[in-house]
A and B are shown apart, each in its own frame.
Chain A
């Protein structure tokens, strides 16, 4: 992605997130039951949806990688998982803060929504040791793709299982009789969701651009060391090797 496009994307993200947070604190009404603490909802829920969606996107890129063998899809899958894991950390921390404020406890172990998200998060945390335990680049990419597809398929299954389970304390916000939201809350939620989704896209694009640049740099360095008069002829800009692309 060109730096100008990335800059525009970052600016749009900042504007949308700023607008969303302004709506949270100056427009959306306080919820009748929880009061001001419910403002965490506009951060916690979009982050959780985007994190889980990001894991599915990573699975789709992994399928494309296995079908085409192109390393760029593996890089996209890797970066999508990375961004989603970061979002996952934010979900767990903001969720724990909200739980403490609403339920008086940081964590409730017999709540399926919380525990299932933690399982998904920990599952994806094992992606990195799995990936870097394999020396050979091709095998590393292939095994990582298989992992991303399997884990990605687990995400919607897990989501459906949790929806079907009897929740003890965690509210069901969408699509239930007691979960309807008034228009101001919906609008605020949608703006926050769009801003945070754009943030995910920006972070993924940013990291992909950095990886591509460091990959090209490593090839240039090798070409110069080999005394190749035309480094561009050695495939600069082709393969992206996630994680260690810039390693010398």
Chain B
């Protein structure tokens, strides 16, 4: 087959490179969605851990009233 003229060949070349870029963008989009879900879960876990920690320290201070009182710093 003889070489295609530039205006016709250009469409095929553009299509091939666009397909590659689209595939790449779709892949990166899917990975970005996954990562945002992971970071959202991390936030949820961090909030939950903070809540549990706060509840734990409240229980501890209720059992031992002096446990939560900080000793005042003595300046020299």
Q: How many A-B contacts at CB < 8 Å in the complex?
A: 80
Q: Which residues of B contact A210 (CB under 8 A)?
A: 31, 34-35, 38
Q: Are A40 and B38 in contact (CB under 8 A)?
A: no
Q: Are B19 and A97 in contact (CB under 8 A)?
A: yes
Q: Which residues of B contact A47 (CB under 8 A)?
A: 20
Q: How far is the CB of B16 from chain A (nearest CB, A)?
A: 4
How many angstroms from the CA of A199 to the CA of B4 in the assembled complex?
31
Total residues of chain A contacting the partner, CB 8 A: 35
Q: Which residues of B contact A37 (CB under 8 A)?
A: 3-4, 9, 12-13
Within 8 A of A (CB), among B45-73: 45, 48-49, 52
Q: Are A21 and B38 in contact (CB under 8 A)?
A: no
A82 to chain B: closest residue by CB: B27
Interface of B is mostly: helix
A198 an interface residue at 8 Å Cβ cutoff?
Answer: no
Q: Are A89 and B23 in contact (CB under 8 A)?
A: yes
A122 an interface residue at 8 Å Cβ cutoff?
Answer: no
Q: Which residues of A contact B25 (CB under 8 A)?
A: none
Q: Mark A130-172, 1 if CB is under 8 A from B, else 0.
A: 0000000000000000000000000000000000000000000
Q: Are B42 and A35 in contact (CB under 8 A)?
A: no
Q: How far is the CB of B31 from chain A (nearest CB, A)?
A: 6
Q: Which residues of B contact A203 (CB under 8 A)?
A: 27
Q: Which of B10, B20, B34, B52 contacts A90 (CB 8 A)?
A: B20
Within 8 A of B (CB), among A80-133: 86, 89-90, 93-94, 97-98, 100-104
Q: How large is the interface on B (under 10, 10 to 19, 20 to 34, 35 or more residues)?
A: 20 to 34
Q: Are A36 and B19 in contact (CB under 8 A)?
A: no
Q: Are A220 and B45 in contact (CB under 8 A)?
A: yes
Q: Which residues of B contact A207 (CB under 8 A)?
A: 31
Q: Are B12 and A217 in contact (CB under 8 A)?
A: no
Q: Are B16 and A213 in contact (CB under 8 A)?
A: no
Q: Are B12 and A97 in contact (CB under 8 A)?
A: yes
How many angstroms from the CA of A94 to the CA of B22 in the assembled complex?
12
B1 an interface residue at 8 Å Cβ cutoff?
Answer: yes
Binding site for A on B (CB under 8 A): 1, 3-4, 6, 8-10, 12-13, 15-17, 19-20, 23-24, 27, 31, 34-35, 37-38, 41-42, 45, 48-49, 52
Binding site for B on A (CB under 8 A): 21, 33-37, 39-40, 43-44, 47, 86, 89-90, 93-94, 97-98, 100-104, 199, 203, 206-207, 210, 213-214, 217, 220-221, 224, 246
Beyond A44-B16, A97-B16, 7 additional contacts (C-beta under 8 Å) are: A34-B3, A35-B4, A35-B6, A97-B15, A101-B12, A101-B13, A221-B41
